[in-house]
């Protein structure tokens, strides 16, 4: 590498350090691995794998990764796989704590939104979604036996991004953790499908149900994701949120989470899912014997 | 990004494309994830994780990784963990087929060798090493009941890189697959510790044992590493080789593999471990009733 003139320092890129570091090692190694792909490799697989191999190798070279460090990574990956089952996806959670699921979600949202960013923003699905939540009528409650907590009347309209008019018949799939921070499938003391349900907006695009003001909770930290958080000197807490998937024929589906504005973990969500537009206000509700709080939340869908 | 003047094209770096692509997305996202590391993070962990997060995020952005593609990767990782046990390390094998173990090995070797590259080159450990191979006397055979194959008298001296003199008492730990391409722990028809043993060089630095001319074999391809090879349109074959670990007090240990020059897979080892200096010649041997081939192989150790 040529010496860097002082006048060029403002254009100095980390890449130039990398190029220098790479030069210690076999300069053809990575290209040889990439070129080993055969002619029947699908174009998208070829692009993704060439890029993945380049990044993984650059990571190893730039940091002069030791055999022991690499093997610790392998063991962490294997541990994540062993811990995963139909109720827990630890590989996903490891990705979550390094922000990858939220980033992939942002990429998907940007590509869906194209030039517009006015549709309801998305957030990660998370590992606790179940596709078999019960269909419930509007005005029903998803709360089936919970200790403590504040019941919230959540309601609003589903709108079309372009016409600004209400969208009838959208499905709102909602799920949340209980007051102890556990989802029903993590907690044998909760009844099946506690705190989850699917609602259908009426002909005016209106939906309404009763749920809990959500509670902040830690992501499961007894496995490799927890180990990683410990190594990174980070807490496992997620700010209180309610999960939603809103779907309607002829509209792009939205998977999102909404966050309670007063939550102390809004600024340092352990999985980096918070966006300003997803922060909502729970307000006091008078005169409704079924709830002490109200949350009006409107959803905007982008047509295909 | 400023437009690139034609006169600057020779200095054009892929990084500039990346910067442009990144600009579609939240420019602070990755730094926020890196900055979430707390003050108690160890400096090496901080460096490695900041670099890993940057590369993983860049990979996702540069390729506009979809949620489905990311989830396929998560499932492949989890599958690798589930398949791994005390006899099989599938996470390691997945790394091997993208060249990572060989690269990490090269980095380690370059750092050990410093300015010299005359010590015996290293190669990956692979997943079939056992630390409990039997100690055998010089001139013993590691072949305990094998169908077919050519018995080879392998012998040589261990030298000091600096003095060029023989090194007495080095331990040579050797292991190889059988003629069916399987290591003993993969094959219930082989006796325990077949084709493995530890030898001690004598006071003249001389070692000798009987082994097999090695056989090319496929890496296990019934799991995620095999799936990856299929996606990459690559075969799973490894060129025929013998594994060695040579250790001696006051010298840097060497983990290596030696490869048969006539092997058809030398040019496309599925785990990228072949180096020119590790290719050896098996020659005909006359007058020794115990072997039909001879391999003289000298090992050079670098003192600490």
Chain A residue numbers with beta carbons less than 8 Å from the beta carbon of B32 are 99, 272
Chain A residue numbers with beta carbons less than 8 Å from the beta carbon of B50 are none
Contact criterion met (CB < 8 Å) for A29 and B106: yes
Q: How confident is the model at residue B110 (pLDDT cuts 50, 70, 90)?
A: confident
> Which residue of chain A is at minimal alpha-carbon distance from B25?
A107
Sign for the pseudo-dihedral over CA of A103, A109, A114, A117: negative
Chain A residue numbers with beta carbons less than 8 Å from the beta carbon of B125 are 67
**What's the pLDDT score for residue A13?**
40
Chain A residue numbers with beta carbons less than 8 Å from the beta carbon of B82 are 81-82, 84
Q: What ipTM was assigned to the predicted interfaces of this complex?
A: 0.83
**What's the pLDDT score for residue A15?**
39
Sign for the pseudo-dihedral over CA of A207, A211, A213, A215: negative
Q: How confident is the model at residue B112 (pLDDT cuts 50, 70, 90)?
A: low
- Measured CA distances, A220 to A85, A92, A97, B282 (Å): 14, 12, 11, 56
**What's the pLDDT score for residue A73?**
96
Alpha-carbon gap: B242 to the closest alpha carbon of chain A (Å): 21
* CB neighbour class for A88 (10 Å; exposed up to 12, middle 13-18, buried from 19): middle
Contact criterion met (CB < 8 Å) for B99 and A30: yes
Tally of CB atoms within 10 A around B112: 15
**What's the pLDDT score for residue A112?**
66
Residue pair B77/A91 in contact by the 8 Å Cβ criterion: yes
Residue pair B256/B175 in contact by the 8 Å Cβ criterion: no
**What's the pLDDT score for residue B5?**
35
**What's the pLDDT score for residue B128?**
86
Chain A residue numbers with beta carbons less than 8 Å from the beta carbon of B108 are 66-67
Q: State the number of CA atoms in the 13 A half-sphere of B303 facing the CB.
A: 10
Tokens of B34: 């890196």
Alpha-carbon gap: B80 to the closest alpha carbon of chain A (Å): 6
Residue pair A22/A61 in contact by the 8 Å Cβ criterion: yes
Alpha-carbon gap: B205 to the closest alpha carbon of chain A (Å): 29
> Which residue of chain A is at minimal alpha-carbon distance from B99?
A33
Residue pair B97/B238 in contact by the 8 Å Cβ criterion: no
* Domain locations along chain A: 6-65, 116-301
Angle (nearest 5°) at CA A163 between A157 and A167? 35
Instruction: Give which of B135, B130, B292 is closest to B210, Cα–Cα.
Output: B292
Q: Which of A78, A92, A108 sits opposite B74 (nearest CB)?
A: A92
- Measured CA distances, B271 to A107, A142, B239 (Å): 33, 53, 10
Contact criterion met (CB < 8 Å) for A95 and B13: no
Contact criterion met (CB < 8 Å) for A104 and B66: yes
A to B CB pairs, distance under 8 Å: 211
* CB neighbour class for B66 (10 Å; exposed up to 12, middle 13-18, buried from 19): middle
Contact criterion met (CB < 8 Å) for A105 and B67: yes
Alpha-carbon gap: A177 to the closest alpha carbon of chain B (Å): 23
Q: How confident is the model at residue B16 (pLDDT cuts 50, 70, 90)?
A: very low
CATH architecture of B95-301: Sandwich (2.60)
CA atoms of B166 and B158, how far apart (whole Å): 6
Residue pair A146/A194 in contact by the 8 Å Cβ criterion: yes
Tokens of A138: 């509007």
Reduced to 3 states (helix: H, G, I; strand: E, B; else coil), residue A240 is coil
**What's the pLDDT score for residue A17?**
40
Alpha-carbon gap: A5 to the closest alpha carbon of chain B (Å): 15
Residue pair A62/A30 in contact by the 8 Å Cβ criterion: no
CA atoms of B127 and B85, how far apart (whole Å): 11
**Alpha-helix residue ranges (DSSP H) falling in A212-300:** 224-231
Angle (nearest 5°) at CA B55 between A20 and A223? 130
> Which residue of chain B is at minimal alpha-carbon distance from A53?
B98
* CB neighbour class for A35 (10 Å; exposed up to 12, middle 13-18, buried from 19): exposed
Contact criterion met (CB < 8 Å) for A55 and B55: yes
pLDDT truncated to tens, each residue of chain A (304 aa)?
333 333 333 343 433 344 444 467 888 999 999 999 999 999 999 999 999 999 999 999 999 999 999 999 999 999 999 999 877 899 999 999 999 999 999 898 887 665 455 677 777 777 788 889 999 999 999 999 888 899 999 999 999 999 999 999 999 999 999 999 999 988 999 999 999 999 999 999 999 999 999 999 999 889 999 999 999 999 999 999 999 999 999 998 898 999 999 999 999 999 999 988 899 999 999 999 999 999 999 999 999 8
Give percent above pLDDT 70 in chain B.
90
Q: Which CATH superfamily is domain A116-301 in?
A: Aromatic compound dioxygenase (2.60.130.10)
Chain A contact probe: residue of B14, B22, B33, B45 with most A CBs at under 10 A: B33
Cα dihedral A34, A39, A45, A48 in deg (nearest 10)? 30
Q: Which of A41, A47, A81 sits opposite B63 (nearest CB)?
A: A47
Q: Which of B64, B91, B99 sits opposite A74 (nearest CB)?
A: B91
Contact criterion met (CB < 8 Å) for B91 and A75: yes
Sign for the pseudo-dihedral over CA of A229, A230, A232, A237: positive
**What's the pLDDT score for residue B6?**
35
Instruction: Give which of B169, B79, B92 is closest to B127, Cα–Cα.
Output: B92
**What's the pLDDT score for residue B71?**
94
Q: Residue A212: beta bridge partners?
A: A151
Contact criterion met (CB < 8 Å) for A231 and B41: yes
Contact criterion met (CB < 8 Å) for A107 and B64: yes
Residue pair B159/B233 in contact by the 8 Å Cβ criterion: no
Alpha-carbon gap: B215 to the closest alpha carbon of chain A (Å): 22
Residue pair A294/A282 in contact by the 8 Å Cβ criterion: yes
Q: Which of A65, A70, A100 sits opposite B70 (nearest CB)?
A: A100
Q: State the number of CA atoms in the 13 A half-sphere of B140 facing the CB.
A: 17
B132-142 pLDDT, tens per residue? 999 999 999 99
Annotate B54-123 with three-state secondary structure: HHHHHHHHHCCCCHHHHHHHHHHHHHHHHHCECCECHHHHHHHHCCHHHHHHHHHHHHHHCCCCCCCCCC
CA atoms of A92 and A100, how far apart (whole Å): 9
Chain B residue numbers with beta carbons less than 8 Å from the beta carbon of A26 are 106
* Longest CA pairwise span in chain B (Å): 76
B114-133 pLDDT, tens per residue? 545 567 777 777 778 888 99
Chain A residue numbers with beta carbons less than 8 Å from the beta carbon of B63 are 47-48, 51
Alpha-carbon gap: B58 to the closest alpha carbon of chain A (Å): 8
Reduced to 3 states (helix: H, G, I; strand: E, B; else coil), residue A217 is strand
Residue pair A195/A186 in contact by the 8 Å Cβ criterion: no
CA atoms of B235 and B265, how far apart (whole Å): 10
Chain B residue numbers with beta carbons less than 8 Å from the beta carbon of A18 are none
CA atoms of A223 and A55, how far apart (whole Å): 26
**What's the pLDDT score for residue B10?**
39
């Amino acid at each position: 590498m040529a010496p860097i003139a002082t006048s060029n320092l403002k254009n100095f890129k980390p890449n130039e350090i990398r190029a220098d570091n790479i030069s210690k090692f076999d300069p053809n190694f990575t290209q040889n691995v990439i070129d080993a792909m055969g002619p029947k490799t699908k174009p998208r697989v070829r692009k993704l794998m060439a890029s993945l191999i380049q990044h993984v190798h650059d990571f190893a070279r730039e940091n002069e990764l030791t055999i022991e460090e690499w093997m610790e990574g392998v063991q962490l990956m294997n541990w994540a796989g062993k811990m995963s089952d139909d109720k827990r996806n630890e590989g996903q959670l490891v990705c979550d704590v390094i922000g990858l699921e939220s980033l992939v979600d942002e990429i998907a949202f940007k590509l869906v939104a194209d030039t517009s960013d006015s549709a309801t923003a998305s957030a990660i699905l998370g590992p606790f979604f179940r596709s078999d939540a019960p269909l419930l009528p509007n005005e029903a409650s998803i709360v089936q036996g919970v200790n403590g907590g504040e019941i919230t009347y959540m309601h609003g309209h589903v709108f079309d991004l372009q016409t600004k008019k209400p969208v009838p018949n959208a499905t709102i799939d909602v799920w949340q953790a209980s007051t102890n921070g556990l989802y029903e499938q993590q907690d044998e003391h909760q009844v099946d499908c506690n705190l989850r349900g699917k609602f259908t907006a009426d002909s005016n695009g209106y939906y309404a149900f009763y749920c809990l003001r959500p509670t902040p909770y830690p992501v499961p930290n007894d496995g490799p994701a927890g180990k990683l958080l410990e190594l990174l000197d980070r807490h496992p807490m997620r700010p209180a949120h309610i999960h939603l998937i809103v779907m309607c024929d002829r509209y792009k589906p939205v998977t999102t989470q909404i966050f309670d504005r007063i939550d102390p973990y809004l600024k340092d969500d352990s999985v980096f899912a918070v966006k300003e537009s997803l922060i909502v206000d729970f307000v006091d509700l008078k005169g409704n014997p079924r709830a002490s709080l109200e949350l009006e939340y409107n959803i905007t869908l982008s047509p295909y």
